[in-house]
Amino acid sequence: MHVGHPLGYIASDVVARFKRLQGFNVLHPMGFDAFGLPAEQYAIETGQHPAVTTDKNIERYKEQLKNIGFSYDWDREVKTCDPNYYKWTQWIFLKLYDSWFNPKTNKAESIDNLITLYEKGKKNQFGKPWNELTETEQQKELTQHRLAYKDESYINWCEALGTVLANDEVVNGVSERGGHPVERKLMSQWFLRITKYADRLLEGLETVDFSDSLKEMQKNWIGRSEGASVNFKLAEHPDNVVVFTTRPDTIFGVSFMVLAPEHPLVAQITSNEQKTTVADYVNYCKSRSELERKSETKEITGAFTGAYVQHPFTGKNIPIYVAEYVLMGYGTGAIMAVPCGDSRDHAFALKFGISIPNIFEGVDVSEKAYEEKTGKIANSSCDWFSIDGLTVQEAKQKVLEKLEDLEIGTKQINYRMRDAGFSRQRYWGEPFPISYKNEIVVADSLENLPITLPEVKSYKPSGDGKSPLSTIPEWVNMSNGNIRETDTMPGYAGSSWYYLRYMDPQNPDAFCEKQKSDYWQQVDLYIGGAEHAVGHLLYSRMWCKVLHDLGYINFDEPYKKLVNQGMITGPSQIIWRYNGTSDESKHSIWNTMPKIVNDIFNERYFIPFDKMYPIFFSSELIEKHETLRSNSSQLYIPIGNPDENKIVDINELYNYSIEKFEGVYVTEDGIFYKQRWIRNVGTPKFLSTLIENEKLSKSKLNTINPDDIVRSYGADAFRMYEMFLGPIEQSKPWNTKGIDGVSRFIKRFWDYCIDYDGTVLLNNEPANEASLKIINRILNKTKEDIEKYSFNTCVSSFMICLNELQAQKCRNREVFEKFLIMLSPFAPHTAEELWHRTGNTSTIIDAVYPSINEKYLKDSTFNYPISINGKTRTLMLFPNDASENDIKKAVLADTTVQKWIEGKTVKKFIFVKERIVNLVV
RNA sequence: ACCCGGGUGGUGGAAUCGGUAGACACGCAGGACUUAAAAUCCUGUGGCUUUGCGGCUGUACGGGUUCAAGUCCCGUCCCGGGUACCA
């Protein structure tokens, strides 16, 4: 754990404790999403069972959490890898499998409802009555509708590692580990039909309190676009080309069609003359990796098929091309190209010499496409139809209606989001409660759950693309002759519903009793990182909707309010290592880089070395010499204090790790090698480094362990400082020095209440008006600020409050007890201890947030800033009930004001009650 | 390229509806206490200018609206995040 992790936990703990003080019944749990790759990877490396290492890690993490004083209800702890938990993950999966999305009711229903519909005569893909279909055929049909279903899909297959890789294990087209080639391989996989929920996931966003950026990310991910599908009749061929377009208004601007290279029509329609060209091109596309297709976006490639479609309005022949810029996976894999309105089509037209008809009024499209959606349509008519002079919106509508009239197009909505892949060829995940009988899916019955993860000899992948489970014949081959599914579920399975389990963590008979979820309802506050924006958050929203549709819970959004905590960044320290090839860096720095040494020291210098060493450069040299920078790589170092200076002792580096840091150091002062200067100008042995503020991370060696902070400053100072750093959503740098401020505050608070000898310094005298005023105001501000998650300003207010009470010499118990209660969510240990020392016997956790006396929130006077032409010149105190006229008289008579308006006329007197007075002269 | 955030002293940040910019801290400087140091306390601290009072200027940059702009509008630049041949 590093200091970035607890930020959100502290914020939610403050809210939990505060709500408790206000009398709420607060559910504040913690749990562990413990299945997944890191544990499995570790198991492969060490041979230890992931369950063992996971438990160990959880224990360690809990220890660290407890060290910070969180008020978690540990009785509600959940672990997604616990069979008592994943029993219900499997149960929900079976519910998904046994449900379909009914478009008529717009919700999930039992698959039995669908079967009934088929029995009543609903059409199926085989064109036969339902009861005449074989079981395989029936299942095939139902598979098209189940919310969890099996389908063929491409995975990242790495032959060298003999395993399937997750997307983030593939970097630049090769495996992250070892850099082996990765290919796309078709495999049968489980999917969740989340696309059916696309619209409800979008609509649901309107009902929840998430940040704009997060909502935006989810919207982009779902990628809803409204448009039309249009049939273009092929010339001299019975088939149609079906395209999807968001701009039906540009239909008269179409000058060519493009099919994706994988499009099934390509082979059928290509003319004889073009056969070789197209085949070559398609092969070329196949040979190109995902990476190449992504990175080389400027290169325009394509081939003419020799075939044409007929324009539905003008009847003109339009050529059909194949090009890789059209993707098979989006829309229909075919587009109508409008070069005047789309920059990619424009570039393609220029390259292949295709005409660029202009359909926009008063716009020049010869150089680039006009992609704005404003202006009017022109040149868009035939004998029997015209949209000339219409706006984009009007034209869209009119074309769409006509297409529907002609029965060659319909309104269509397309989504970027795909169904979610739900299979992993891994060990450390939930087993599927699924087996196969003659290739037909058989779901385990609910009573048989959980299907527990069996012991396995090796956690290594099986080598043939299957999970390690496939290597256990006694598990795979069931007693009834069925074959078990050997894939496991992905990380987001368990995390999609854990908030429900917190409400009823021990229940052996239900994932969560309905009464319990009815009582607790949605999660009121969920604080988490933005990295889950489109994965976990979307999936859990979908699961919630399904469980709601099926009647298991009565809300259909899991999280009412979601706050994304910002990253905490920290200074990392970097040195530079020269990337000389082995050839050139033999034995001498002179041989290696004569030019550079010459540049730096203005002389040729030769140093014989007894072996080859890495060469490290001081940062200031890197900044001055471009050749050095481009030939050097950055290396994070673990020593020195980046808070204080940008230099590091070279000897210290040596001592830290001879293996890593023994080498030749080149600085402005000379060359340092084997702990002495070879060429020096007599200055200390320091190397200047580069300091970067970056996300805290092990690899950057800039993490700060909260245990260390707690040890030297205490948990309360640590908690308060994390809150004091700045707004919770913002990313901000950690500076250990800054913690002194809150640490001093806590000490000052203590010392003000308790004397050296332990005597309580508070008295029982009644508090004066001034003290009551400040404490009531801060009580009010703290309440307001916590409610808007502005924790940093709460901490400031506490400091202001103490400063003020000290200045007043206020030591009334009455005032300070209120202060302690207000402070307790932030600094629970200090508050609790002082609470007892000042004579209370119950815990401060059970205290009640003090009621606020409204009369102290308002002053009877206001100190008006008096400005002349908008610039404040003086301040004048007036009672709140003073009339504007009286104030005007007094202001005009004031000597400072007199000085500024002397010889000028006052044109206007602006008076805003309890805000400002402004004179315009 | 597109879509979201954001840009305020040396640093983290504050500023409710457009109404005293820089609260509260860190750091720094000076002082007190101490044989000394640490700790603690006091004073000062955006920049320029002035002996002082004060004046000018100032919220990335350029415009605009307004009696009044960190805040609203238009344009530009920079930083962070997300997405991407998405038709």
Paired tokens of A521: 């309802």
Residues 6+ apart with CB under 8 A from A170: A156, A176, A182
DSSP assignments along A715-754, one per residue: HHHHHHHHHHTS-TTS-EE--GGGHHHHHHHHHHHHHHHB
DSSP assignments along A100-120, one per residue: EEETTTTEEEEHHHHHHHHHT
Paired tokens of A226: 């409204």
Paired tokens of A897: 């004001």
For residue A649, what is the DSSP state?
E
What count of other Cβ atoms lies within 10 Å of the Cβ of residue A60?
Answer: 11
Distance A875 CA to B20 C1' (A): 8
Paired tokens of A602: 């203005």
| Residue A876 CB-half CA count within 13 A | 23
Strand, helix or coil for residue A673: strand
Does residue A361 lie within 7 Å of nucleic acid chain B, judged by its CB?
A: no
With CA of A781 and C1' of each nucleotide, the nearest comes out as B16
DSSP assignments along A12-69, one per residue: HHHHHHHHHHTT-------EE---SHHHHHHHHHH---HHHHHHHHHHHHHHHHHHTT
Give me the interface pTM, i.e. the ipTM.
Answer: 0.94
pLDDT score, position A814: 92
- Rounded-to-integer distance, Cα A368 and Cα A347, Å: 8
Does residue A738 lie within 7 Å of nucleic acid chain B, judged by its CB?
A: yes
Distance A872 CA to B50 C1' (A): 20
Chain A span 195-214 residues with beta carbon within 7 Å of strand B = 212-213
Does residue A736 lie within 7 Å of nucleic acid chain B, judged by its CB?
A: no
Does residue A534 lie within 7 Å of nucleic acid chain B, judged by its CB?
A: yes
Does residue A732 lie within 7 Å of nucleic acid chain B, judged by its CB?
A: yes
Residues of chain A short of pLDDT 50, as ranges, are: 581-588, 590
Does residue A299 lie within 7 Å of nucleic acid chain B, judged by its CB?
A: yes
Nucleotides on strand B with an atom closer than 7 A to protein CB?
3-5, 11-16, 19-21, 23-27, 40-41, 55-56, 67-69, 80-87
Does residue A297 lie within 7 Å of nucleic acid chain B, judged by its CB?
A: yes
Paired tokens of A252: 């008269």
- Rounded-to-integer distance, Cα A723 and Cα A490, Å: 34
- Rounded-to-integer distance, Cα A105 and Cα A114, Å: 12
With CA of A298 and C1' of each nucleotide, the nearest comes out as B85
With CA of A290 and C1' of each nucleotide, the nearest comes out as B85
Distance A704 CA to B39 C1' (A): 26
Residues 6+ apart with CB under 8 A from A836: none
Question: What are the φ/ψ torsions at residue A906 (nearest 5 degrees)?
Answer: -85, 110
Q: Give, to the nearest 10 degrees, the angle between helix A791-807 and helix A739-753.
A: 40
Distance A623 CA to B29 C1' (A): 33
Does residue A889 lie within 7 Å of nucleic acid chain B, judged by its CB?
A: no
What count of other Cβ atoms lies within 10 Å of the Cβ of residue A587?
Answer: 14
Does residue A790 lie within 7 Å of nucleic acid chain B, judged by its CB?
A: yes
Does residue A98 lie within 7 Å of nucleic acid chain B, judged by its CB?
A: no
Q: Is the pTM of this model over 0.90?
A: no
Does residue A533 lie within 7 Å of nucleic acid chain B, judged by its CB?
A: yes
Distance A734 CA to B32 C1' (A): 33
Does residue A343 lie within 7 Å of nucleic acid chain B, judged by its CB?
A: no
| Strand (E) or helix (H) holding A73 | none
With CA of A220 and C1' of each nucleotide, the nearest comes out as B83
Q: Which residue has tokens 């717009």? A: A106
Q: Can you say whether residue A389 is alpha, beta or left, with left for phi > 0 and alpha for psi between -120 and 50 degrees?
A: left
Q: Give, to the nearest 10 degrees, the angle between helix A536-549 and helix A212-222.
A: 80
With CA of A336 and C1' of each nucleotide, the nearest comes out as B87
Distance A799 CA to B50 C1' (A): 35
With CA of A803 and C1' of each nucleotide, the nearest comes out as B24
For residue A155, what is the DSSP state?
E
pLDDT score, position A78: 96
Does residue A247 lie within 7 Å of nucleic acid chain B, judged by its CB?
A: yes
Torsion of the alpha carbons at A86, A56, A11 and A732, rounded to the nearest 10: -120
Does residue A657 lie within 7 Å of nucleic acid chain B, judged by its CB?
A: no
The pLDDT mean for chain A works out to: 86
